[in-house]
Amino acid sequence: MIAAETNPESLSAESLSIDEFLARELNKELLRFSTAGSVDDGKSTLIGRLLYDARGIYEDQLDSIRKSKVNRSSGAIDFSLLTDGLRAEREQGITIDVAYRYFSTPRRKFIIADTPGHEQYTRNMATGASTAQLAIVLVDARNGVLPQTRRHATISSLLGIPRIVLAVNKMDLVNYSREVFEKIRADFLHFSRDFEFEEIQPIPISALEGENVARRGVRMPWYDGPALLEYLEAAPVSAATNSSPLRFPVQYVIRPNQHFRGYAGQIASGTLRVGDPVTVLPSGQSSRIASIATFDGELQSAHAPMSITVTLEDERDISRGDMLVHPEEQPHAARRFEANLVWMAEDPLAAGRSLLLKHTAQQVSARVHSIESRLDIHTMERKPAGALSLNDIGAVRIDASRPIFFDRYRDNRLTGAFILIDPLTNGTVGAGMIQSAIQRRALDLGHVTPEERYERNGHGPALLALANGPLALRLERRLFDHGCQVLAVAPGTHSATLYAAGLIVISPWFADARAIDLNRLPLPKDEDAAADAIMAYLEQNGTLATDRFSGGEGI
Amino acid sequence: MFEARPAPSASNFLYSMTARLALFRPVEALPLRGTVNLQFLWTIRQSLCYDISMSSLSHLRALEAESIHILREVAAEFAKPVMLYSIGKDSSVMLRLAQKAFHPGKIPFPLLHIDTTYKFKEMIEFRDWYPASIGADLRVYVNREARDAGANPVSLGTSKCCGLLKTRALLNALSEGGYDAAFGGARRDEEKSRAKERIYSFRDQYGQWDPKNQRPELWNVFNSRIDKGQSIRVFPLSNWTEIDVWHYIHLENITVVPLYFAKPRPMVVRGGSLIPMEHGVIPLLPGEAPQMVMCRMRSLGCTPCTGAIRSEAGSVPQIIEELLRFRRSERENRIIDHDQEGSMELKKREGYF
Ligand SMILES: Nc1nc2c(ncn2[C@@H]2O[C@H](COP(=O)(O)OP(=O)(O)O)[C@@H](O)[C@H]2O)c(=O)[nH]1
Ligand SMILES: [Mg+2]
């Protein structure tokens, strides 16, 4: 985006030498923002216009849209074609997936995520919004705040985006009316009153005409606020994560030789100095930072979001997924927690579903214990629900197979976030934002529940029918070594009791309808391979908690 | 097939050193146009050190940290990653980031160059010494079958030629090598369908991309689950722009192929294009003859399909300065992207990077 990086005029007008230019570039901050709003409110057009006015578009790209067969706009250039880059998007005139675009001004470099408005593509909108520091919520002046505007504003709020620009667009179609603008502004402020945005900046614009986009227009003299670009250049970029508690998730262990054992990762928040005492989670062991090693030499200190490698003063058993923190500022550690969830799969989510949960550098298996509520986008009320459908937003309780170390999402956008993965399709099906750990309450003094047993054992109960005796013994041993409560028994033993106790029971046959008939599985001849296949099968069907990592640790 | 590679030998090394000395004068030693303030350039380098007093990272350092996170994540979660190495500026930056990510260890995966055999000689020379000089393990793959059958862009058309020598070769190399994750240096600002791609771009067993059905990708949490035979392409430089790449090359003093720097080169001038004649594939029109033109390459591809641009830029800052004044995108001189509206997307769907 050269043209945008610069503004050729500004180079010559301010007569910057290339050296001065490069020096200035070095101090530029990065601001990531996303668009949000209902379909056809003008998101793509606005971004196209912004790029055009900020000179983030090359002439050959402009030529190619000028020549394009499609032009749905009433202007000479259909600016939405600048971001709607997929063939299907251009053919249908809609945005299907996020487009990332880049431009910069002398002060900042911007990463834009232009997101789709259609409800069916909400997950793509969430993708674009998850890393944004600011969201532009567009509203068509003729239509006002629509359900989809609410959904997107809600997701933006849940995702912790601190700043919102409420861009009331297509003002040209309502005669640049102040009343229309004020009404939409009041509606939006009313509906979003409970959201925790730090700031909402309403701006009346015409994306098509460029009014109040890159610079203030003349058609709305009653508006005395900033143009969109002015606001984007000035909005504070919060750097609060440096003063927050240290969170250093270990991503990778670097061990080039016996003398060096480094823990590599990106600091999620906080600052770390050589000599700092640290606690290693989950083991709870303590040590001190011996060095911060980088390719460019050793550092005395480092802060978020730097990617670094540290060594410790003591030999500690640390692997990927562990976290280094300062002893006096520890995160929550819990297997059970409550979270806001955006459900992103076609098949609805019901309580009891087993999924994989990825959080920082750790992956654990987890169960959705219960669905506490579902947000009604129309009334903005949280209502009890039995399931979450595609694009629903709800509050859920999650039981992870082992404790994870987290902060509340509102306190930390990286250590408070997780994704849910369907172990069968491998799809990313949920985006979660942790609200709180669930404390044991008086209620928990009752009977131990199957969920609690699952949580403790790392597996559910199962009755496995397997006629091959030697294989049954091999499997029993394999499961035992895996940490399971398992017993191979003769037929007719009180298997129902063992099942209730949470055990995995192996026997040639069962009278119980809950039994899984392994005899029907196409198993390899080799016993080890057959046991492997059964283990894999038990992971797939959710009996075993799957939290293996698929790759090596360290070099 | 994978090409047999000579073990790095003394003579090779010698070549590389002389080549390096001859071709790469340090940036500071190059005469800059206009007022040159060497002291100033030096200050820039100095100020690049991480400064803890900074409340946040500058945009380049933020991009660097993000890319390193991605590289490590893939190395940790995939069984057999590989890094596509195309010899160009983006690959050079990606390679440096890989060095940084695993320092003081070695880069824990090999590099792979898909050689169409139509690359510039200077690119191949560079390829044969630079990665080895930093201790990286480079593999080279050529679709020999297609090449022996005489595949070239003139007889087949650019689209078919690319299909065989790049896409097919890449897919074969990935499956023969058993790689489950492949890094590419593509950036989202290059082209409109790239702007749509995830950092982890999921590919089915045929290496194909389904742009209408991409996995959601939130925060910096990546889903690395794939079934046997499937793979992902990973783009650590997704959020970098062309200027970012050059600026980083400048700051980090990264060595790049000399073709990027202007000097007189033999070119056929046809219309507004400068066509390199290296492989003699493109037939000359009556009356045409190569002539010496002061020029450089803005992006590197195959000689018959990559035009040069007229330029005087002999150093990285001069290249940046030139880019700042440009009004046209870098891929414009690539013939393949323009075959047809949306042609990059089609290629990607078929398995292209
Ligand atoms: N009159 C007018 N039309 C606009 C304006 N902004 C967008 N449009 C038109 O509204 C339609 C939808 O725009 P698009 O950018 O695709 O909306 P998106 O779905 O939110 O990305 C297109 O036909 C645009 O030309 C505006 O400010 N004024
Ligand atoms: Mg759109």
- Taking CB atoms and an 8 Å cutoff, what residues of chain A touch B194? 85
Residue B101 has pLDDT above 60, yes or no: yes
The CATH number given to whatever domain includes residue B159 is: 3.40.50.620
A25 touches chain B (CB under 8 A): yes
Provide the residue type at A267 as one letter.
Answer: I
Number of domains within chain B: 2
Q: Which residue has the higher pLDDT, A248 or B291?
A: A248
Helix (H, G, I), strand (E, B) or coil at A220: coil
pLDDT for res A200: 95
Considering the domain architecture, whether residues B66 and B173 belong to the same structural domain is answered as yes
Ligand 2: centre distance to CA A81 (Å) = 9
Domain-embedded: residue B159: yes
Average pLDDT, chain A: 87
pLDDT for res B32: 34
Ligand 1: centre distance to CA B188 (Å) = 24
Confidence of residue A434 (pLDDT cuts 50, 70, 90): very high
pLDDT for res B94: 98
DSSP B314-339: -SHHHHHHHHHH--S-GGGGBSGGGS
pLDDT for res A6: 39
Distance from chain centroid for Cα B228 = 28
Considering the domain architecture, whether residues B212 and B298 belong to the same structural domain is answered as no
Tokens 């410790």 belong to residue: A312
Which residue in the set B43, B100, B106 is minimally distant from A295, CB to CB? Answer: B100
DSSP B152-168: -HHHH-HHHHHIIIIII
Residue B20 has pLDDT above 70, yes or no: no
Q: Residue A271 in contact with residue B29, Cβ under 8 Å?
A: no
Tell me the average pLDDT across B165-193: 92
- Taking CB atoms and an 8 Å cutoff, what residues of chain B touch A80? none
Tokens 């925790």 belong to residue: A196
Tell me the average pLDDT across A310-326: 95
* Nearest residue to A485 via CA among A507, A464, A503, A463: A503
Domain-embedded: residue B16: no
Helix (H, G, I), strand (E, B) or coil at B251: helix
Provide the residue type at A93 as one letter.
Answer: G
Tell me the average pLDDT across A533-548: 79
Taking the CB of residue B74, how many other CB atoms lie within 10 A of it? Answer: 25
Q: Which residue has the higher pLDDT, A458 or A375?
A: A375
**Structure token pair of residue B76:** 């940790």
Residue B55 has pLDDT above 60, yes or no: no
A500 touches chain B (CB under 8 A): no
The residues pairing with B102 across neighbouring beta strands, listed in sequence order, are none
Provide the residue type at A539 as one letter.
Answer: E
Residues 340-369 of A with CB under 8 A from B: 344, 356, 358-361
pLDDT for res A13: 37
Considering the domain architecture, whether residues B230 and B269 belong to the same structural domain is answered as no
Tell me the average pLDDT across B330-343: 55
Answer yes or no: pTM beyond 0.90: no
Considering the domain architecture, whether residues B146 and B221 belong to the same structural domain is answered as yes
Confidence of residue A371 (pLDDT cuts 50, 70, 90): very high
Rounded to whole angstroms, how far apart are CA atoms A484 and A552? Answer: 24
Element (H, E) at A366: strand A362-376
Residue B107 has pLDDT above 50, yes or no: yes
Residue A141 DSSP label: T
| CA distances to A253, B31, B86, B98, B109 from B83, in Å | 20, 35, 9, 9, 7
Whether omega before A8 lies within 30 degrees of 0, making that bond cis, reads no
Domain-embedded: residue B17: no
Domain-embedded: residue B48: no
Residue A69 has pLDDT above 70, yes or no: no
Beta strands A301-303 and A271-273: pairing type? antiparallel
Considering the domain architecture, whether residues B195 and B285 belong to the same structural domain is answered as no
- Taking CB atoms and an 8 Å cutoff, what residues of chain A touch B77? 549-551
Considering the domain architecture, whether residues B217 and B109 belong to the same structural domain is answered as yes
pLDDT for res A75: 67
Confidence of residue A56 (pLDDT cuts 50, 70, 90): low
Which residue in the set B194, B211, B320 is minimally distant from A22, CB to CB? Answer: B320
ipTM score for this prediction:
0.82
pLDDT for res B47: 35
Q: Residue A255 in contact with residue A262, Cβ under 8 Å?
A: yes
Q: Report pLDDT digits (tens) over A228-278.
A: 999 999 998 865 556 789 999 999 999 999 899 999 999 999 999 999 999
Considering the domain architecture, whether residues B292 and B143 belong to the same structural domain is answered as no
Q: Residue A77 in contact with residue A65, Cβ under 8 Å?
A: yes
Domains and CATH numbers, chain A: 18-234 (3.40.50.300), 241-325 (2.40.30.10), 332-437 (2.40.30.10), 458-550 (no CATH)
pLDDT for res A323: 96
pLDDT for res B280: 74
Residues lining ligand 1, Cβ inside 6 A:
A 37, 39-45, 72-74, 80, 95, 117, 169-170, 172-173, 206-208
R_g of chain B, CA atoms, integer Å: 20
pLDDT for res B16: 42
Rounded to whole angstroms, how far apart are CA atoms A53 and B216? Answer: 31
**Under an 8 A CB cutoff, do B223 and A271 touch?**
no
Q: Residue B330 in contact with residue B298, Cβ under 8 Å?
A: yes
Residue B336 has pLDDT above 60, yes or no: no
Residue A203 DSSP label: E
Rounded to whole angstroms, how far apart are CA atoms B13 and A544? Answer: 54
**Under an 8 A CB cutoff, do B195 and A255 touch?**
no
Residues 322-341 of A with CB under 8 A from B: none
Rounded to whole angstroms, how far apart are CA atoms A312 and A280? Answer: 10
Q: Which residue has the higher pLDDT, A474 or A13?
A: A474
Q: Report pLDDT digits (tens) over A140-160.
A: 999 999 988 998 999 999 999
Rounded to whole angstroms, how far apart are CA atoms A25 and A107? Answer: 8
Percent of chain B's residues with pLDDT above 90:
48
What is the per-residue burial (b if ≥16 Cβ within 10 Å, else e) of A377-395? beeeeeeebeebebbbbbb
Considering the domain architecture, whether residues B95 and B154 belong to the same structural domain is answered as yes
Q: Which of A414-428, B99-113, B259-273 has the lowest mean pLDDT?
A: B259-273
Considering the domain architecture, whether residues B217 and B115 belong to the same structural domain is answered as yes
Domain-embedded: residue B251: no
Residue B285 DSSP label: P
Percent of chain A's residues with pLDDT above 90:
57
Rounded to whole angstroms, how far apart are CA atoms B105 and A435? Answer: 39
Rounded to whole angstroms, how far apart are CA atoms A74 and A78? Answer: 8
pLDDT for res B18: 38
Q: Report pLDDT digits (tens) over B202-243.
A: 988 888 888 888 999 999 999 999 988 888 999 999 999 998
pLDDT for res A554: 33
Residue A121 has pLDDT above 70, yes or no: yes
Rounded to whole angstroms, how far apart are CA atoms A298 and A152? Answer: 44
B99 touches chain A (CB under 8 A): yes
DSSP A467-491: --HHHHHHHHHHHHHTT--EEE--T
* Nearest residue to A470 via CA among A543, A535, A531, A532: A531
Confidence of residue A553 (pLDDT cuts 50, 70, 90): very low
Ligand 1: centre distance to CA B242 (Å) = 29
Residue B110 has pLDDT above 80, yes or no: yes
The residues pairing with A433 across neighbouring beta strands, listed in sequence order, are A340, A417
Ligand 1: centre distance to CA A110 (Å) = 22
**Under an 8 A CB cutoff, do A18 and B32 touch?**
yes
Q: At what angle do helices A469-481 and A527-540 cross, to 10 degrees?
A: 60
Please tell me the distance in Å from B153's CA to the nearest CA on chain A. Answer: 24
B289 touches chain A (CB under 8 A): no
Element (H, E) at A337: strand A332-343
Domain-embedded: residue B11: no
Q: Which of B40-44, B105-109, B230-234 has the lowest mean pLDDT?
A: B40-44
**Under an 8 A CB cutoff, do B218 and A68 touch?**
no
* Nearest residue to B222 via CA among B103, B93, B81, B347: B81
Domain-embedded: residue B89: yes
Q: Report pLDDT digits (tens) over B65-96.
A: 999 999 999 999 999 999 999 999 999 999 99
Considering the domain architecture, whether residues B291 and B213 belong to the same structural domain is answered as no
Provide the residue type at B313 as one letter.
Answer: A
Rounded to whole angstroms, how far apart are CA atoms B26 and B125? Answer: 19
Rounded to whole angstroms, how far apart are CA atoms A26 and B37? Answer: 17
Helices and strands, number each (H, E), in chain B: 12, 10
Ligand 2: centre distance to CA A118 (Å) = 9
Q: Residue A213 in contact with residue A223, Cβ under 8 Å?
A: no
From the CA of A115, the nearest ligand is 2
Considering the domain architecture, whether residues B141 and B268 belong to the same structural domain is answered as no
A6 touches chain B (CB under 8 A): yes
Q: Report pLDDT digits (tens) over B233-278.
A: 999 999 999 989 999 999 999 999 999 999 999 998 888 788 887 7
Query: Which residues span the domain enclosing B121?
Result: 56-243+344-350
Q: Which residue has the higher pLDDT, A356 or A333?
A: A356
Q: Report pLDDT digits (tens) over A177-198.
A: 999 999 999 999 998 988 889 9
Considering the domain architecture, whether residues B107 and B169 belong to the same structural domain is answered as yes
Please tell me the distance in Å from A191's CA to the nearest CA on chain B. Answer: 26
Please tell me the distance in Å from B110's CA to the nearest CA on chain A. Answer: 13
B221 touches chain A (CB under 8 A): yes
pLDDT for res A246: 96
Q: Report pLDDT digits (tens) over B133-147.
A: 999 999 999 999 988
- Taking CB atoms and an 8 Å cutoff, what residues of chain A touch B47? 23, 26
Domain-embedded: residue B45: no
Top mean-pLDDT range of A52-56, B102-106, B226-230 = B102-106
